[in-house]
A and B are shown apart, each in its own frame.
Chain A
Amino acid sequence: MSSRLWPSLLRYAALITGGLLMIIPFWWMLVTSIKPPGSVLTVPPELFPRQPTLESYQRVFATVPIGRMFFNSLVMTVVSVACQIATSAMAAYAFARMQWRGRNVVFLLYIATLMVPSQVTITPLFILMQRLGWVDTYPGLIAPSIVSAFGVFLLRQAMLSVPREYEEAAVLDGATHWTIFRHVVLPMIGPALATLGVFATMSTWNSFLWPLFVTRDERLMTLPVGLALLHGRYTTEWSMVMAGAIISVVPIILVYLAAQRAFVRGVALSGLK
């Protein structure tokens, strides 16, 4: 009996430890953010705030345009995700359901670009934005993320497994490509669309390198960049920095909680971060 119990105990101990290791840092982030600024740097650290206050949050809002940054992140994410889904779905349809010369070559091109790390394109993209006068502008911020090679890959895969009978029936009824695309294929790849949406949302909301490059003005910065800026200015004011971190993390966690299954599936499928 005890030889059966031991592995179980070990297993649950490992799981509980793991769970605690995941949640305690977040809890500490929250606790630090609601402590009065003066009481943060104490030895030993105050494990439970005696006088919780929202003062640090107020200071964050007062010193950087965090509301504006939130809005920028929101705009960037919504526009990027919508465009990625739209352009990827249409291109995927062309690859999956249309016959044309050079189809395989162009698709190989897509795969090839997936292999090249994003850091290779960042320098020329910045130069392009500069030439266009798009540095520190919304177009400059959003443009590179309106298409997604990964999205085309994913959606093409999904479309290939839609049974042809449905389309054939639609063709018999005299449907055009657009009709088939919109009313036959798209509804049938719902999970893949959700997966792409979730993955694109997560990676755009959290993206750092490109917004860091292309925005100089605080009012154009996204949350991650703004958060780094906040930290740069108030390096030791941890209650403020943690407040900023909470502001940037809570929205995406809420989205995650609302769409959990799609998230997990999306991450597992993509394998990309």
Chain B
Amino acid sequence: MIGERGWHKAGWLLLFLLPGVGGLLIFTVLPILASFVLAFFSWDLLTPPQFVGVKNFADIFHDKEFWAALRHTLLFIAGYVPLVVVCGLCMALAMNAALRGIGILRTLFFFPVVSSWVAVALLWSWLFNPKYGLVNYLLSLVGIPGPGWLFDPNWAMPAIILTSVWKDLGFVLVLFLAGLQSIPVDYGEAAALDGAGRIAQFRHVTLPLLAPTTFFVLIISLINSFQVFDQVWVMTEGGPAGATTVLVERIVRHAFSYGEMGYAAALSWVLFFLVFAATLVQFRVQRMGNFDV
């Protein structure tokens, strides 16, 4: 296109590419490769690294705490994903038809989204305080004795789930709104003309046409929730009594509290594998359910 040959072209290319690609190589590609190699070693940063082959991975397989963290992570996903998707969709549906004031509402829904997880986690730690928190107070007003939330092994994860749903609702809402607004109004009208009631309209027109958006929201939510960390670290640090340990929390612990860099690297690859597998499964399921994705 632009008259350029040899050195001249190489010079321009270098100028444009070097910062971006250079940075990517140093801070992403190389660490990824290094992490892969590291997973086959045992290293505490003080003594020289020792090659241990697949021992780290074998240890993970036999590690009770790993399986517990996996269970808790899956529990989080099972609670968080459906809740945030359903609530987000309901809000989007409600907002899509309303005409006045939705700008203000959407702004409000975004406050949690732009706030940091730490601030939100601390806020909800306070709200969920069993004795002095607002949640239990409001529950007591309707005669329900509130549980120990973050201090109760059975209620800590639900508290974390609710906090996470609250924070991400605005995000899911915006995605669904965008999806809803791209559905032509005529489809619904045509269905109404054929005698379809609101619910039938929703089931047979809206929902199917929303499928790509729903799929996108599910994938993103799934990938993100496998990596849940900030709120867990701040609200419970994996407690009480290890009831809310999650995969990334395990990685951080092994890297920093136990000084087991190789084990932590191996764990992070197991995490990658799980996320990858889950995403693949979702793509398969999507393809099975749709004929024209």
Chain A positions within 8 Å of B, measured between CB atoms, are 7, 11-12, 14-15, 18-19, 21-23, 25-26, 28-29, 32, 40-45, 83, 86-88, 90-94, 97-100, 106, 109-110, 113, 115-128, 130, 143-144, 146-147, 149, 152, 167, 171, 175-178, 180-181, 202, 205-206, 208-209, 213, 223-225, 227-228, 231, 238, 241-242, 244-245, 248-249, 252-253, 255-257, 260, 263-264, 267-268, 271-273
Contact = CB atoms under 8 A, between A and B. Distances in A.
A200 B17 CA distance: 20
A147 B27 contact: yes
Contacts of B233: 208, 228
B216 A271 contact: yes
Given A124-B35, A208-B117, A98 B16 contact: yes
Contacts of B123: 25-26, 28-29, 242, 245
B116 A260 contact: no
Given A117-B272, A127-B45, A241 B122 contact: yes
Contacts of A109: 24, 29
B20 A120 contact: no
A61 B226 CA distance: 36
Contacts of A147: 19-20, 23-24, 27-28
A253 B174 contact: no
Given A15-B98, A97-B1, A125-B31, 16 more contacts: A11-B98, A12-B98, A26-B123, A45-B132, A88-B20, A99-B1, A119-B229, A123-B261, A124-B38, A147-B19, A178-B12, A209-B252, A238-B132, A242-B126, A253-B114, A267-B174
Given A18-B91, A110-B24, A113-B28, A94 B132 contact: no
The B contact surface, by secondary structure, is: helix
Given A126-B255, A273-B224, A227 B95 contact: no
B2 A177 contact: yes
Rank and list the top 10 A-B pairs by shortest CB-CB distance, nearest first: A91-B20, A147-B23, A206-B116, A121-B31, A124-B34, A124-B31, A94-B16, A87-B19, A224-B118, A87-B20
A42 B134 contact: no
Contacts of A18: 91, 94, 105, 109, 169
B20 A249 contact: no
A271 B91 contact: no
Contacts of A118: 227
B268 A123 contact: yes
B66 interface: no
Nearest to B30: A124
B178 interface: yes
Contact of B24 (A23, A29, A119, A149): A149
B256 interface: yes
12 contacts: A14-B94, A15-B91, A19-B104, A87-B19, A106-B21, A117-B275, A119-B251, A181-B16, A224-B119, A248-B118, A248-B119, A249-B119
Contact of A25 (B106, B124, B171): B124
A23 B111 contact: yes
B272 A120 contact: yes
Nearest to B3: A171
Nearest to B140: A44
Contact of A271 (B105, B220, B248, B252): B220
Given A147-B20, A213-B256, A245-B119, A267 B107 contact: no
Contact of A123 (B109, B110, B112, B255): B255
Interface size range on B against A: 35 or more
B113 A120 contact: no
A121 B28 contact: yes
B29 A41 contact: no
A55 to B, nearest CB: 18
Interface of B: 1-2, 9, 12-13, 15-17, 19-21, 23-24, 27-32, 34-35, 38, 45, 90-91, 94-95, 97-98, 102, 104-119, 122-127, 129, 131-134, 137, 166, 168-171, 174-175, 178, 198, 216, 220, 223-224, 226-227, 229-230, 233-234, 248, 251-252, 255-256, 261, 264-265, 268-269, 271-272, 275-276
Contacts of A124: 30-32, 34-35, 38, 265
A100 B13 CA distance: 8
B266 to A, nearest CB: 10
A113 B21 CA distance: 12
Contacts of B98: 11-12, 15
B119 A231 contact: no
Contacts of B105: 15, 18-19
Contact of A14 (B28, B91, B107, B171): B91
B60 to A, nearest CB: 15
A15 B93 CA distance: 10
Given A90-B15, A119-B251, A267-B174, A272 B116 contact: no
B19 A91 contact: yes
B277 to A, nearest CB: 12
A44 to B, nearest CB: 6
A264 B173 CA distance: 11
Contact of B13 (A94, A123, A127): A94
